[in-house]
Structure 1
Amino acid sequence: MAVNSSETDFESSQGKVGARFIIIQVLVVLFLWIDLLLIITFCMRAFFYTNMRYILFAVTLLSDSLFLLVSDILFILIGFNLNIQTRLCAMLYIISSQANFVTIVTLTSMVLERYVAICLPLRHAELCSTRNTLLLILIINGLSSLPCIIFLSIFFASATRNFYTQVKGCHWQIFVMHEWQNHLKSAINQFYFLVIGIIIVVCYFKIMKVAKAASGESRKSTWKGLRTIILHALQLLLCVIQLWCTFVESVVFKINISLFINVRYFNYVTFILAPRCLSPLIYGVRDETFLQAFKHYVLCGLCKKAMNLF
Structure 2
Amino acid sequence: MAIERYIAICKPLHHHQICTVRRTYILMSLIWGVGVIPGLADLILLSIVRPLSIFSTASSCGASILYSSPYHEVQSRFMNGLYSSVVWVILVFTYCRVLIAARRATTDKSSAKKAQNTILLHGAQLLLCMLSYITAVIDKMFVPLAPVDRARLTFLNYLLTNILPRLLTPLIYGVRDKHFYKHMKALFSCRLFFVKVESIKQ
Give the structure with the higher percent helix. Answer: 1
SS in 1 for 2:59: strand
Q: Does structure 1 residue 181 correspond to structure 2 residue 69? A: no
The one-letter amino acid of 1:275's match is P
Match of 1:164 among 38, 52, 55: 55
Return closer, same or farther for 1:223/1:152 CA change in 2, 3 Å cut-off.
farther
The one-letter amino acid of 1:280's match is P
TM-score, structure 2 as length reference: 0.73
Structure 2: runs of 5+ lacking an equivalent:
185-192
Higher mean C-alpha displacement, 145-154 vs 238-247: 238-247
Which structure ranks higher in relative contact order (CA pairs < 8 Å, sequence separation ≥ 6)?
Answer: 1
**Deviations 1:25-73 (Å, cap 9, x if unpaired)?**
xxxxxxxxxxxxxxxxxxxxxxxxxxxxxxxxxxxxxxxxxxxxxxxxx
Match of 1:120 among 7, 11, 15: 11
The one-letter amino acid of 1:247's match is V
Q: Does structure 1 residue 201 correspond to structure 2 residue 111? A: no
User: 1:1-310 residue pairs with structure 2 within 5 A?
Assistant: 110-215=1-106, 220=111, 226-257=116-147, 264=154, 267-281=157-171, 284=174, 286=176
Return closer, same or farther for 1:189/1:239 CA change in 2, 3 Å cut-off.
farther
Contact 2:10-2:101 within 8 A present in 1 as well: yes
TM-score, structure 1 as length reference: 0.50
Contact 1:200-1:229 within 8 A present in 2 as well: no
Larger Rg: 2
SS in 2 for 1:167: coil
CA deviation after TM superposition for structure 1 residue 228, in Å: 4.4
CA deviation after TM superposition for structure 1 residue 172, in Å: 1.2
CA distance in 2: counterparts of 1:147 and 1:306, whole angstroms: 56
Q: How many residues align?
A: 190
The one-letter amino acid of 1:197's match is W
Contact 2:143-2:154 within 8 A present in 1 as well: no
SS in 2 for 1:211: helix
% identical equivalent positions:
28
Contact 1:119-1:210 within 8 A present in 2 as well: yes
Q: Which runs of 4+ in 1 moved over 3 A?
A: 222-229, 251-266, 282-289, 305-308
Return closer, same or farther for 1:307/1:163 CA change in 2, 3 Å cut-off.
farther
The one-letter amino acid of 2:123's match is A
CA distance in 2: counterparts of 1:111 and 1:287, whole angstroms: 21
Return closer, same or farther for 1:252/1:285 CA change in 2, 3 Å cut-off.
closer
Structure 1: runs of 5+ lacking an equivalent:
1-109, 296-302
SS in 2 for 1:168: coil
Return closer, same or farther for 1:155/1:111 CA change in 2, 3 Å cut-off.
same
CA distance in 2: counterparts of 1:286 and 1:153, whole angstroms: 46
CA deviation after TM superposition for structure 1 residue 209, in Å: 1.3
CA distance in 2: counterparts of 1:126 and 1:288, whole angstroms: 31
The two structures, once aligned, show a CA RMSD in angstroms of: 3.6
Contact 1:242-1:267 within 8 A present in 2 as well: no
CA distance in 1: counterparts of 2:85 and 2:168, whole angstroms: 22
**Deviations 1:253-290 (Å, cap 9, x if unpaired)?**
4445379678646533431232121232355554689x
The one-letter amino acid of 2:77's match is S
CA distance in 1: counterparts of 2:46 and 2:174, whole angstroms: 40
